Structure 1
Amino acid sequence: MHWALAFSLLIVPRIAFAICTCGYLMTDRQPENNSILFTDKLETDFGSMKDLSQASEWTKQQFNVSAIAGRGTYGKTFLPENVFLLPEPQDVQGDVNEPRGIALRVGSQITSLNAISAAEVDTSRRDMFWGSYRATMKLSRVSGTCAAFFWYFNDSQEIDMEFLSRQFDEVKKVFPVNLVIHSSLSAKDGYDASKTGTFKTTNLKFDPTKGFHEYRFDYLPGHVYFYADGERLGEMKGENVPSSGGHVILQHWSNGNQLWSGGPPSSDAAIVVKSVKAYFNSSDAKKRGDWHNTCRGHGEKGTVCAISDTTPAASGQVDHSPHNDAKAGNHETGEESGGHGSHLAKSLTTALAPMMAVYTLMMMGPELEFGLKVWWE
């Protein structure tokens, strides 16, 4: 059943420290979409952590992918010790210019399994549905690796932003990002999305190895929008767009495939992720019901918080110091997986009394329009 309800909602801005009991508001860049309300969030500030035991929403991964399965010259060995904070806590006082965040390292040596060691961390939540997903990262300048920030349900429902360091050319100012949606069509073609209409390569306007920049994709019904530092990179739409809940993955790897990752890298290489922010609706019916009850229970005191669109570039906080991959090679052990830190500078207090009937309808149908949009399924 499809519900569409037009409703004029009074929104009064207010600076507040209240919990965002009624969700997170994003003003969409497409005028026809008005504004979009998401019910859940995940905000992880790796740059402020003392150790990764604080990153409780994330899990380091350990698994092997054979050369055949990965379509490469070598296999891939994902190791927990390749995920760690950089720089080390004891280094912070001595080098205040060194970027701090979670490092994902790719090794330069071929292992006994004829593989290249790699790194991956995944969100613990697997119910991340329609939403806006953002990662602030500094990439590696060492040629021969693939860095990826992506949303994943399965091999035929996947949204990727992938960066191939072999494609970077500082002299020519060429810094491509590959925007990819994997679908049932790409699965039939050996997971090659280039022939399905959901593959696009576009050039960044900055050197991604010299500063932290925000990479973002908005996953909405029938549409995916990609951004870098708030600027639209591309749009993909149609039946190949995923339609399930999934999870977010940060990954850095190489398998020697000269048509993709290249490599192995000549030296250990690391990307650094300062933060990840996700504002989304849950695919879990129980979580949706919990949100509905919590928001309704707060009545007029319920709060909708504004999602900040400020990026590192817009705020003047871009770190232009060189990326020091060499420090990644000196790390012997990684902290245990795990943290979470968040705050919102602004909130929107809503007049919730007229919304109670609206929330009842929201629980009955997939799409609701009342000046805001909330999508469920």
Structure 2
Amino acid sequence: MLGFGLVTTLFVGCALFAPVGKAQLSSTSSAITCDCGFRDENNNVWTNVWFSDYQQSEGNVYHDATAMDLKRDKNYLVMDYTMKRDNYNYTRIFSKNNVNLSPQSAQLIVRSNSDGDMTSASFGTERNDFLYGTFRASIKMPSVPGTVAAFYYYESDTAEIDMETLGRYTDPRQSFFAIHPQIYNDDGTASNLTHVKHPLDFDPTTEFNEYRFDWVPDSVGFYLNGQLASTLDTNIPSTPGRVILNHWTDSNPKFSGVAPMDQDILMEVANMTFFFNSTQDATGPPCQSNRNACDVKDITSRRLLPFDKSPPASSSSSSIVAYTSLSSIPFILTILPILLSSL
């Protein structure tokens, strides 16, 4: 079991959860307290949890509050830059205008701009203190070839964990799993010590599927829809970083492929759930109300939901950040009515 240090809470008191059905939670609900961490499927115990749901239904005031725009949410970095590497003929142009919220998802769009250039999309967490954990995102991959869709941890080019899907691979469809820095064979190909091409037994473009990587000090496990697909144990990062999603093309026919210029190409994200430790973690779990960690399956299945609807205790912490400790599970506060009413 991994039992890393626990964070100084951002709220007074403990995390309260209650199992619910169709009914709304009330002050009389039987609460479950999660002040001993969150135990995952591999028996690791994590300090913090981040949950964000981008799917809109009636009453989801999170979408209203952000005017359908993640760029207004200070918990996120929405990327706006151009990357051209030395000795590399292909350019990636990331535009803030290519990240949108729709009623079904957060959208990362690849499309041409008025100058005739192909532009890409990327957003990530503002916080960059993630250090080990289990990281999950529900994603519908683009159906049009010519792009790369990725879910990954990043600190630098020498500390990175990638899950990538290349649209040009269709028979079979594949996901790439990688650790950076990568190791290369004598012929220049990527070594399977740090890079795996994994064939998919499902079509990732027709519905949302869960992509997950479990990062511990000596290995990274890559999961698809809850099933372990591959494990790498070389060059495992040991520095904190942020979690990022991106969808890009640079028209390199040998990697991203060439995306068509006459249509918008969508990567869609329904939700993200991270159970993790942080460089802010300093002491052991309080475990004052509950001697056992909560089961992550109860949280990801929404059998346990936030009970305490109080606003953030610290004005310096925004809604997600404030909800990323044992003091309270970080369901975005303003979407709580949706989560409850949709069960």
TM-score, with structure 1 as normaliser: 0.65
2:220 to 198, 220, 224: 224
2:88 to 71, 89, 95: 71
Q: 1:233-244 to 2 correspondence within 5 Å?
A: 233-238=229-234, 240-244=235-239
What's the counterpart of residue 41 of structure 1? 49
CA contact (8 A) 2:34 2:290 kept: no
What's the counterpart of residue 195 of structure 1? 191
**What is the CA-CA distance between 1:193 and the residue it aligns to?**
7.4
Distance 1:180 1:145 in 2: 17
What's the counterpart of residue 281 of structure 2? 288
For the aligned residue pairs, the C-alpha RMSD in angstroms reads: 3.3
Q: 1:2-21 to 2 correspondence within 5 Å?
A: 17-18=31-32, 20-21=34-35
1:23 pairs with 2:16: no
Distance 1:310 1:20 in 2: 11
TM-aligned CA distance change 1:111 to 1:18, over 3 Å: farther
**What is the CA-CA distance between 1:65 and the residue it aligns to?**
0.9
1:307 to 268, 271, 296: 296
Distance 1:105 1:218 in 2: 27
CA contact (8 A) 1:214 1:311 kept: no
Distance 1:262 1:71 in 2: 15
Distance 1:182 1:288 in 2: 25
Give the aligned residue type for 1:341: F
**What is the CA-CA distance between 1:264 and the residue it aligns to?**
3.0
Give the aligned residue type for 1:76: R
What's the counterpart of residue 14 of structure 2? none
1:138 to 136, 140, 151: 140
1:104 to 108, 112, 116: 108
What's the counterpart of residue 123 of structure 1? 125
Distance 2:110 2:197 in 1: 23
Distance 1:81 1:70 in 2: 28
2:176 to 175, 178, 190: 178
Give the aligned residue type for 2:212: R
1:247 pairs with 2:242: yes
**What is the CA-CA distance between 1:60 and the residue it aligns to?**
0.8
Larger radius of gyration: 1
Distance 1:243 1:257 in 2: 32
What's the counterpart of residue 59 of structure 1? 77
CA contact (8 A) 2:183 2:190 kept: no
Distance 2:298 2:218 in 1: 23
Q: 1:320-335 to 2 correspondence within 5 Å?
A: none
- Post-superposition Cα deviations, 1:53-80, rounded to whole Å, max 9, x if no partner, equal 58543221111112x449343x222111
Residue identity (%): 29
Distance 2:160 2:114 in 1: 29
- Post-superposition Cα deviations, 1:183-241, rounded to whole Å, max 9, x if no partner, equal 1646x99xx77136211111111100000000001001111100110111101013x11
TM-aligned CA distance change 1:19 to 1:110, over 3 Å: farther
What's the counterpart of residue 254 of structure 2? 259
**What is the CA-CA distance between 1:82 and the residue it aligns to?**
0.5
Counting matched residue pairs gives 274
Distance 1:280 1:310 in 2: 14
Distance 1:109 1:84 in 2: 16
**What is the CA-CA distance between 1:245 and the residue it aligns to?**
1.2
1:272 to 247, 268, 276: 268
CA contact (8 A) 1:111 1:117 kept: no
1:161 to 160, 163, 166: 163
**What is the CA-CA distance between 1:19 and the residue it aligns to?**
5.1
Distance 2:166 2:192 in 1: 21
**What is the CA-CA distance between 1:265 and the residue it aligns to?**
2.8
TM-aligned CA distance change 1:82 to 1:193, over 3 Å: farther
Gaps of at least 5 residues in structure 2 are 5-17, 20-29, 57-61, 302-317, 321-329
CA contact (8 A) 1:146 1:162 kept: yes
Distance 2:216 2:298 in 1: 17
Please identify which structure carries the higher helix content: 1
CA contact (8 A) 2:182 2:190 kept: no
TM-score, with structure 2 as normaliser: 0.71
Give the aligned residue type for 2:239: S
TM-aligned CA distance change 1:45 to 1:303, over 3 Å: farther
Distance 1:108 1:204 in 2: 29
Secondary structure of the residue aligned to 1:300 is coil
Gaps of at least 5 residues in structure 1 are 5-13, 29-34, 88-99, 313-336, 346-377
TM-aligned CA distance change 1:105 to 1:26, over 3 Å: same
